[in-house]
Structure 1
Amino acid sequence: MSIPAFAALWFLPFVLPICFYVAFTDLRDMLIKNHAVVALAVIFVIVGLFVLPPWSTQWTSLTIWSFSVALPPYVWHLLHIVTVLILGILFNAAGVLGAGDAKFMAAASPFVWSGDLVLVMFILAATTLAAFVTHRLAMHTALRNVAPNWESWNRKKHFPMGLPLGGSLAIYLILGTVYGS
C-alpha cells in the first residue's frame, strides 16, 4: 500500500467515528449530514498538516503537455477534494448518486493515496456488494424490527451508500495501519 502506516494510524481515530456516523445516519434518514462531511474535511486539513507537513516534505510535480506544477503532497491531497467534488456533481446531475454521497467522497478523497486508488476501488466494490446484500436481506427479515423506523427500509429503488462509503474508508485506513508503507 502507498499510504504510510503512520499516516493511517494518525487519521484512523478521528475518521472512524465519522464513518460510523455517516453509515448510521444514511441508514436511518437516507441522508449524509453536511456537518459530518465538513468534519471529515477539517480532520484532513488539521491532522494532515502534522502527517504531511508541507514545509518538510519533498514536493512532487505533475506535467501536462509542457506545463509543469510542483506542489507539496499535502496540497495535492487537498486538490483531490476539488477533483472528486466536480466528478461527484456531474454524477449527481446524471442521477447516478446522491449529493451527500458525492460530498462524502470528496471529503474522503484526500485520505486516499493516489497509488492506492485501484485498491480503494476494489474495497468499495466489495463493501458495496456486501452492504447491499446485507441491507436487502435484513429488510425482509425480523432484523428490520430492531430499527423499524429507518427510512432506508422504505426506499425500494434507493440504497444508503453512506454504509459502504464509510465502511470503505474505514477499511482502507485500517488496512493502511497494518500494511502501509
Structure 2
Amino acid sequence: MGTPPEVAIAFLPLVLPVAAWAAWSDLARMTIPNRAVLALIAVFAAGGLLLTALGAWSLADWAGRAAHLPVVLLVGLALHAAGQAGAGDAKLAAVAAPFVAAGDLGAVLRLLLTVLLVAWALHRLARRTVGPRLAPGWASWAPGPRFPMGIVLSATLVAYLALAALG
C-alpha cells in the first residue's frame, strides 16, 4: 500500500468512529450527516498536519492527498446530477479520497467492489429476515432500488487503512 503503516495506524482510530456514524446514519435515515463529512475532513487536515510535524509524513504527501478531494467531489457531483449517486455519498467519497494513496486506486476500487457486493447481499438478506425487527423504522429497509452506500464507502475506507496499517 502507498500509505505508510504508521500513517494508517494514526488515522484508523480517528476514522473508525466517524465512518461508523456515517454508515449507521445512512442505514437508519438514508442520509449521511454533513457533520460526519466535516469530521472526516478535520481528521485528515489536523491529523495529517500533525503527522507531518512529527516527521511521519511529508507536507508534499499531505498536500498531494488533499488534492484528491476536489477531484472525487466533482466526479461524485456529476454522478449525483445524473441520478447515479446521492449527494451524501458524493461528499463522503470525496472526503475519504485523501486518505488513499493515488497508486492504490486500483486496489481500492477492487476493495470497494468486494465490499459493495458483500454489503448489498447482507443488507438484502437482513431486510427480508430479521433486520426490520432488530432495527424497526430504518429507512434502508424500505422496498425499492435505493441502497445505503455510506456503509460501503465507510467500510472500504476502514478496510483500506487497516490493510495499510498491516504494511
TM-score tier by shorter-chain length is over 0.9
TM norm structure 2: 0.94
In the alignment, is residue 172 of structure 1 matched against residue 165 of structure 2?
Answer: no
The question of whether the paired residues in 1 share the 8 Å contact of 2:27 and 2:138 is answered with yes
Match of 2:87? 99
The question of whether the paired residues in 1 share the 8 Å contact of 2:19 and 2:155 is answered with yes
Identical-residue share of aligned pairs (%): 40
Match of 2:44? 44
Runs of at least 4 residues off by over 6 Å:
55-59
Match of 1:27? 27
CA change 1:44–1:58 in 2 (3 A) is closer
Amino acid corresponding to residue 86 of structure 1 in structure 2:
L
- Which of 132, 138, 141 is the matching residue for 1:144? 132
Q: Give the secondary-structure state (helix, strand or coil) at the position aligned to 2:2.
A: coil
- After superposition, the C-alpha distances for 1:74-127 in whole angstroms (9 at most, x for unaligned) are 111111111111111111101110000000011101000111111111110000
Match of 1:14? 14
CA change 1:22–1:133 in 2 (3 A) is same
CA change 1:47–1:31 in 2 (3 A) is same
User: Quick check: which has more Rg, 1 or 2?
Assistant: 1
In the alignment, is residue 80 of structure 1 matched against residue 61 of structure 2?
Answer: no
Partner Cα distance (2:103, 2:31) in 1: 31
Match of 2:116? 128
Higher fraction of strand: 1
Partner Cα distance (1:123, 1:142) in 2: 27
Match of 1:62? none
CA change 1:56–1:164 in 2 (3 A) is closer
CA change 1:135–1:58 in 2 (3 A) is closer
Listed as ranges, the matches of 1:48-67 within 5 Å are: 48-53=48-53
RMSD of aligned Cα (Å): 1.6
Partner Cα distance (1:2, 1:22) in 2: 25
Amino acid corresponding to residue 42 of structure 1 in structure 2:
A
Unaligned stretches of 5+ in structure 2?
none
Match of 1:63? none
Match of 1:66? none
Matched length: 166
CA change 1:20–1:73 in 2 (3 A) is same
Q: Give the secondary-structure state (helix, strand or coil) at the position aligned to 1:149.
A: coil
Amino acid corresponding to residue 102 of structure 1 in structure 2:
A
Higher fraction of helix: 2
Unaligned stretches of 5+ in structure 1?
60-71
The question of whether the paired residues in 1 share the 8 Å contact of 2:32 and 2:89 is answered with yes
- After superposition, the C-alpha distances for 1:125-160 in whole angstroms (9 at most, x for unaligned) are 000110000000111112320001100001411000
The Cα shift of 1:57 comes to 6.5
